[in-house]
Amino acid sequence: MQFFGGSAAAEASPAPAAPPGTATGLAGNNANVLYVFNRNGVCLLYREWHRPLRTLDAAQDHKLMFGLLFSLRSFTAKMDPTSVEKGNLGVPLLPGQGCSFHSFRTNTYKLSFMESPSGIKLILVTHPKTSDLREALRYIYNLYVEYVVKNPLYVPGTPIKSELFNTNLDQYVKTLI
């Protein structure tokens, strides 16, 4: 795991071959999984495009992902060199509070994260050689606002069932390189 600059070449095991769409092939097979959580940790959307190995049931997977994000945000806020008031490790943070965490990379995947001012958390898991996805996450959030939040039939806090959102999301994810 690479938290502070450094070289990725120092990792023990090599990254898998780049999938199509990572600057050497055709686009479309770069995104593996997307999670959308609300501020309370409820998974509003779980979308899978390319996930070769399933090890957990969906509820367990969602809890682990939200717990990982909670811990990483808490850890980065605690380690923030610019903040005088560190607070306690594990105390929930408000959106935009503390040091910002955008992504981390392992030898097998890259996890990109964005939190909106309203507390909606977007997590996109991709191939480890994928570049910065902050703009892609903002675009996905804008799709969420346009097709889910503005939908008068949508009840906030319930799972996302919008076919129009899913179709536009799928089309956009296919373009990610």
Span 99-136, pLDDT tens digits: 577 888 888 889 999 888 888 999 998 888 888 888 99
Helix axes of 134-144 and 163-173: crossing angle, nearest 10 degrees? 160
**18 in a domain, yes or no?**
no
Distance CA 156, CA 35 (A): 16
**Residue 69, C-beta contacts closer than 8 angstroms, at least 6 positions apart:** 37, 113, 121, 123
Distance CA 86, CA 105 (A): 25
Q: Using 50, 70 and 90 to split pLDDT, how confident is the model at 85?
A: low
Nearest alpha-carbon partner for 134 in 143, 145, 144, 123? 123
CATH of residue 75's domain is: 3.30.450.70
pTM, rounded to two decimals: 0.73
Q: Which two tokens stand for residue 16?
A: 């898998």
**47 in a domain, yes or no?**
yes
**149 in a domain, yes or no?**
yes
Q: Using 50, 70 and 90 to split pLDDT, how confident is the model at 145?
A: very high
Q: What is the pLDDT of residue 177?
A: 59
Range of the domain at 123: 27-82+89-173
User: Is residue 142 helix, strand or coil?
Assistant: helix
**19 in a domain, yes or no?**
no
The number of angstroms, rounded, from the C-alpha of 105 to the middle of its chain's C-alpha atoms is: 12
**16 in a domain, yes or no?**
no
CB atoms inside a 10 Å sphere around CB 113: 21
Nearest alpha-carbon partner for 147 in 112, 117, 174, 171? 171
Span 18-68, pLDDT tens digits: 344 433 333 445 678 899 999 888 999 998 887 766 677 888 888 888 988
What strand order describes the sheet that includes 31-37?
Answer: 43-48, 31-37, 121-126, 110-115, 103-105
**15 in a domain, yes or no?**
no
**3 in a domain, yes or no?**
no
Domain count, the chain: 1
| β-bridge partners, 34 | 47, 124
**164 in a domain, yes or no?**
yes
User: Is residue 57 helix, strand or coil?
Assistant: coil
